[in-house]
A and B are shown apart, each in its own frame.
Chain A
Amino acid sequence: MSVVAEKLEITDELIAERRGDPTGKLPEDMPVWMGKIITKIDRFSLWIGRIVCWLTIPLFGAMVFEVVARYAFIAPTMWAYDISRMLAGALFMLGAGYALSKGVHIRADFIYRTWSVKTQGKVDLFLYVFFYFPGLFVFLWMSTDFAYLSWIRGERGMDTAWMPLMAPIKTCLPVGVLFLLIQGISELLKSYFAATKGRWP
């Protein structure tokens, strides 16, 4: 019953990591313009991910400061709660595009992975065009409106004592969706390639 790790069926990992290497060589029969766009977008997303991941450190610092101040010095701060949840929210939203470029958005892939690569590419292409872009465009439009209203009104959070400005965190929504859309173009081209050539770039 013992299975060696290397011999396991690794289709899941392949789906998650087939786009893992950012500097990996592109296939030679891919059109040049397509390769250029994909490389640029993926590199852009990689850098976004690398920059955004540093938000963890201030989050960490705010939590540690709050815990020490509250329990060791009995001087709880007002800002730590808001800062921490805002940083976490920004981390989630801004990291979404990077996660898409790594293919780690959760799929229920127990049927998907049994298909041939061409079918996978066709299904992905179809769904990117008809599900992904319309939904996210509507969302981008609405969340831009939402963030814009928040900026011009100088909205403050009413659920905590510190009452922080809500506009910066709400701006993260359209920005994160924008990153997702940019990365979506790259994924669209990749799935088009898979649908026509029968393998993933």
Chain B
Amino acid sequence: MTNEILGMIMIGVMLFAIFIGFPISFTLIFLGAVFGFLGFGSLVFYLMTFQFSSVMLEQTLAAVPLFIFMGILMEKAGLMERLFSAVQLMLSRVRGSLFIAVLFVSTIFAAATGIVGASVTILGIMAAKTMNRSNYDVKLAAGTITAGGTLGI
């Protein structure tokens, strides 16, 4: 069996296993190890550990806990609530003003963080509460936050 066919099989099995709904990380660990072993031999286990440690020591990912911490701090202090309600009052003539506010804030965060997870989490912590309280459509609110978060790839 050539490596190309092995790769195709791996992609098929991977998609199937992901859609079944097992946590993706463990699926990827197992499938990567098994198919890598078929393809490379035992070298793949060393590569796996090495890759893990290099992702673990990634400097950009260190920003995620810090941003989440900042978001929780701001949310607990009530800062963001007041900010969002101020924006809401300012744009009260516009329909869906909070959506615009969230998109605006997420554009700024996208430039500042550069990590999708961080800005989605922080906006989810900060904006979702205000949006819920103002009876916004929850599905559309969640969509706005996640779409705004992808600006920061």
Binding site for B on A (CB under 8 A): 1-5, 8, 56, 59-60, 63, 81, 84-93, 100, 105-113, 120, 123-124, 127, 131-132, 134-136, 138-139, 142-143, 145-146, 169-170, 172-173
Contacts and interface: CB of A to CB of B under 8 A. Distances in A.
5 contacts: A56-B69, A106-B23, A107-B24, A136-B26, A136-B29
B137 to A, nearest CB: 5
A108 B137 contact: no
Interface string B99-139: 00000000000000000000000000000000010011111
A4 B141 CA distance: 12
A89 B48 contact: no
A124 B22 CA distance: 7
Interface of B: 17-27, 29-30, 33, 45-46, 48-50, 52-53, 56-59, 61-62, 64-66, 69, 132, 135-139
Contacts, number: 121
Given A105-B23, A135-B26, 7 more contacts: A3-B138, A112-B20, A131-B30, A142-B45, A143-B49, A170-B53, A173-B49
Contacts of A113: 21
Main secondary structure of the interface of B (DSSP, over half): helix
A85 B58 contact: yes
B30 A134 contact: yes
A105 B26 contact: yes
A119 to B, nearest CB: 10
B30 A132 contact: yes
A143 B52 contact: yes
A170 B52 CA distance: 10
B25 A105 contact: yes
A123 B21 contact: yes
A108 B29 CA distance: 16
Contacts of B62: 59, 84-85, 87-89
Contacts of B58: 85, 89
B53 A131 contact: no
B66 A111 contact: no
By Cβ-Cβ distance, the 5 closest A-B pairs, closest first, are A112-B21, A135-B30, A88-B62, A89-B56, A105-B23
Chain A CB count within 10 A is highest, among B23, B24, B136, for: B23
Contact of B27 (A91, A120, A131): A131
